[in-house]
Amino acid sequence: MNSGISVAKIRSFGAIYVAEARMSAMLKWKGIIAIVAIGNPLFYLIAIGIGVGVLVNENSGTSGTGGVEYITFIAPALLASAAITAALDEAMFPVMEGFKWRKLFYAMNSTPITGPQIALGVFIAALARVAFTVICYWAVLIAFGVMTVKQSWDVIPVTIFAAGAFASIIIGITAKVKNDDYFMTVLGRLIIMPMFLFSGTFFPLNTMPIYLQPIGWISPLWHSTELGRYFSYGYPLSATMLIVHFAFLLALLIGGLALANKTFTIRLTK
């Protein structure tokens, strides 16, 4: 009797099945996800880009932002920040749920689906959430006239790539967490918040005290912001720095996926 279940197919497409399950779970929260994806850019653009931007432009002109309006300067940073926040949500909470809260990964692993496939599936689903957020945010920026389609379309894949690099390392780190009492608090207050404040989001990184600049150098948000500014309005970057930014994010992506694969495999065999 044919049960309709193909073990070979599960082994081949396990990551796709995991990603499909995660995206189905996301659909339960599609309203909230859409509100956040569209509402956040509207809030920040009005409050900071337009509100604070008027004060910045009136008092210092465009000399401190590379010759562009303040709203143009911060828009790629806000786009990158939204993408990384979406990546964090879809990289951290599903992993905690899978290993600790509901132990879903152990059920998945009882089938022919392997630990690395589960990790990859979570990563793919996180990329889907990131892509939705980035496209919504970018569309709002276009609607506000901050960017043009022809000039800035390539900021979309660049930002998704950067957020994906961040997601991979968060998946790998979270997979190691067995006690979540302080993990999310420490991550939010000691890593995410400083990264948001000290990554050249609101002003050029080189205007900060030298002892704070290293926070930006190791921050995926800074590298993503710099690339976003370059691809959205032609922010001046040397060929060397372009290579540095892409190399840093690529190393983060590869290292994060390698850590996730190893940690998922070890943890699911215990």
Average pLDDT over residues 64-90: 86
CB-based contacts of 63, cutoff 8 Å, min separation 6: none
Is residue 235 a part of any domain in this protein? Answer: yes
Contact of 83 with 224, CB cutoff 8 Å: yes
55, 61, 87, 111, 233 from 50: Cα distances, Å: 9, 14, 26, 53, 18
Is 1 within the bounds of a domain?
Answer: no
The residues, ordered by sequence, that sit 6+ positions from 39 with a Cβ below 8 Å of its Cβ are none
Average of pLDDT values for 13-27?
A: 92
Within-domain flag for 2: no
Tens of pLDDT, residues 34-75: 888 877 777 877 777 666 656 666 666 555 566 788 888 888
Query: Which pLDDT score, from 0 to 100, does residue 228 have?
Result: 94
Would you say residue 4 lies in a domain?
no
Q: Is residue 5 part of a domain?
A: no
The per-residue pLDDT for range 220-233, each reduced to its tens digit, is 999 999 999 999 98
Residue 111 lies in a domain: yes
Looking at the predicted structure, is the pLDDT value of residue 104 above 60? yes
Question: For residue range 175-230, what is the model confidence (pLDDT) as tens digits?
Answer: 999 877 788 888 888 888 888 888 988 888 988 889 889 999 999 999 999 999 99
The pLDDT, as a whole number, for residue 1 is 41
| Cα–Cα distance for residue pair 78/84, rounded to 1 Å | 10
Domain that holds residue 154: 11-268
Q: How confident is the model at residue 127 (pLDDT cuts 50, 70, 90)?
A: very high
SS3 73: helix
In a domain, 133, yes or no: yes
Contact 69, 49 (CB under 8 A): no
Is there a contact between 23 and 128 (Cβ–Cβ < 8 Å)?
yes
- Total-model pTM: 0.90
The reply to whether 191 falls in a domain is yes
Number of structural domains (the chain) is 1
